[in-house]
Amino acid sequence: MSDESTRKRPEELAYRELLNNLEEVNRRCCELFAESGRMEPGGNLPPADPFNLAETMMKLGLAMLADPARLLEGQAELMQDYARLWQELAARWGERPEASESPPEEARAKPQDKRFKHQAWEENPLFDHLRQAYLMTAEFIEKKVAESSLGLDRKEAQKARFFTRQYIDALSPSNFLLTNPEALQETLESRGENLFRGLKNVLEDFRAGRIRQTDTEAFEIGVNIATTPGRVVFRNRLMELIQYEPTTATVFRRPLLIIPPWINKFYILDLEPRNSFIAWAVSRGYTVFVISWVNPGAEMADTGFADYMREGIFAALEAIEQATGEREVTALGYCIGGTLLACALAYMAAREDERIKAATMLVAQVDFSEPGELGVFIDKAQLEALERRMDEKGYLDGAEMATAFNLLRANDLIWSYVVGNYLMGRDPYPFNLLYWNQDSTRMPRAMHSFYLREMYLHNRLVEPGAIVLDGVPLDLGRIRVPIYLQSAREDHISPCASVFKGRHFFAGPVRFIVAGSGHIAGVINPPAAGKYYYLTNEREPDDFTAWMAGARKHPGSWWVDWHRWLYRRSGRKVAARVPGAGGLPALEEAPGSYVKGK
């Protein structure tokens, strides 16, 4: 064998390996096309325009055409920037000896923009040019849409800007193989194996109906997630009530009832010992009861918002009294659980029911006049289309709700996984928070329709008597119990300015605070982590901007401030209570059965 043939052999082997991988990629592509041609279960095609975008974009187009001179002027400026960018590229490649006389201001990605963190986006002239051209174009489009949307009503303008951003994010060069330098490098180094693995991930995700954000096989509820010791002491068709084992010799007399959202499962409050809000509250001497909502099916289609109040909060209060002998409690509601708690407090005030002595509402809205970007999914046409889909099944599928939440942070929760899972061919990394995020739940048709129409669409909860539950008109102004109102600075789901508005509708004292980070990390922030901050303002101005301007910043977790507020309202200390040893027997170990329903 000649030296030349010996030298070529590794290259030939690499080439053959690349061809074999590409052949497998082609086979999986054909398999994917075959899968994508199938209809949804039941033979129904997905809705053509689920977000009612056609009408919004038509209005936006007409608004743009109403001032063609401004549009043409903006396009001319963009073309000039493109020309300067090309001159800069030519200069870097040495095609021209001198740099351009007036190079454009470089379009830099924001520091938190992880799409362009690979060094080739700046070091390679071609990819640097592509990056800058994309960011420049994105800025131009967003600016023109913002200018033109001024002629639309507030909701239509917000919707136009939101979905324009979705379109821009989807077209990022980082999302495509041939324009992503890191993916190209991985393809060459792995001889195309990343594409083979990526298409395998595409097929698995397509069949599952979602993009996998984590390795779901790495977690088991009750084994390495949701592990705080406790017992289920009560169960009805809508919820299980968990009482947690004490870790202190004495506890506060008044038990603490936690009402989590039923849009997701309760164990966001009990992911693991180091960041479990439930375990931390237990360690501070509270007798903690938590509602674990059932994952409803078609049989619960007619379950309404009042049912969640009656069979959730009120059933839990009765069970807690049986289990501990205590009639008085404190309560905490998270997100929609907080909205339900506000409704229950208004109902109880009308009936002169004083069992709840203090209430905490975490990132919970009662005034939905400014609901944030979630509002783009809620208008009359979209709700009618959604209700038609719910009529067919009896519920809203959890995947639909998850899609809406993921779109609020598409680059982090969608496109980063498209790149990592599909282009790079990586397996999703095990992360318990993302496991919880994908463990979605269904929404009963009647409840969800009521919630979206009465709260988001019509904002009736803040109108005294406009909402009636079980024959009782609700008036938030009759609520006199002390309230701890927590919000999060970067919350896209319950904006802190919107949460702030709620404090004006309660008659009792309200302590409002703003935590650092967002809807989840802003809540789940244990003191031991030493992360983020929270803001307080003892002067309590009525205007949110003024409140923020005069706020005092405290490093660390708001949990400490909350505990200082709550323990004074929780009664004297009594002997610790063991789940199942009181008036209600233990039915099974925590976290129970309902939380495991898929």
Write out pLDDT tens, residues 212-222. Answer: 888 888 999 99
Q: What one-character-per-residue DSSP string does 411-442 give?
A: IIIIIHHIIIIIIS-PPPPP-HHHHHHHS---
- In CATH terms, the fold of domain 230-376+442-596 is Rossmann fold (3.40.50)
Please state, for a pLDDT cut of 70, what percent of the chain lies above it. 89
Burial of 160 (0-12, 13-18, 19+ CB in 10 A): buried
496 is catalytic: no
92 has a pLDDT exceeding 80: no
Q: How far apart are CA 169 and CA 415, in angstroms?
A: 8
3-class secondary-structure state, position 301: coil
Write out pLDDT tens, residues 372-422. Answer: 888 888 888 888 888 998 999 999 988 887 888 888 888 888 899 999 999
Burial of 69 (0-12, 13-18, 19+ CB in 10 A): exposed
pLDDT of amino acid 18: 53
Write out pLDDT tens, residues 351-377. Answer: 999 999 999 999 999 999 988 888 888
Write out pLDDT tens, residues 184-194. Answer: 999 988 888 88
Q: How far apart are CA 594 and CA 589, in angstroms?
A: 12
Write out pLDDT tens, residues 496-534. Answer: 999 999 999 999 999 999 999 999 999 999 999 999 999
The average pLDDT across 476-484 equals 97
The average pLDDT across 300-319 equals 97
Q: Where in the chain is the domain with CATH 3.40.50.1820?
A: 230-376+442-596
Distances (CA, A) of 282 to 171, 252, 585: 48, 10, 20
Q: How far apart are CA 596 and CA 593, in angstroms?
A: 6
Min mean pLDDT across 93-102, 163-172, 514-523 is at 93-102
Q: How far apart are CA 305 and CA 256, in angstroms?
A: 22
Calculate the average pLDDT of the chain: 88
**Which residue among 30, 335, 343, 496 is the active-site one?**
335
Distances (CA, A) of 12 to 5, 15, 25, 191, 464: 10, 5, 20, 12, 78
Reported confidence tier of residue 598, pLDDT bands at 50, 70, 90: confident
Min mean pLDDT across 153-157, 390-394, 551-555, 582-586 is at 153-157
Question: Please, which residues have CB within 8 angstroms of residue 183's CB and are 6 or more apart in sequence?
Answer: 177, 194, 419, 423, 424
Distances (CA, A) of 446 to 276, 301, 302, 463: 32, 6, 5, 21
5 has a pLDDT exceeding 70: no
The average pLDDT across 476-492 equals 96
Reported confidence tier of residue 67, pLDDT bands at 50, 70, 90: confident
- Contact at 8 Å (CB) between 512 and 540? yes
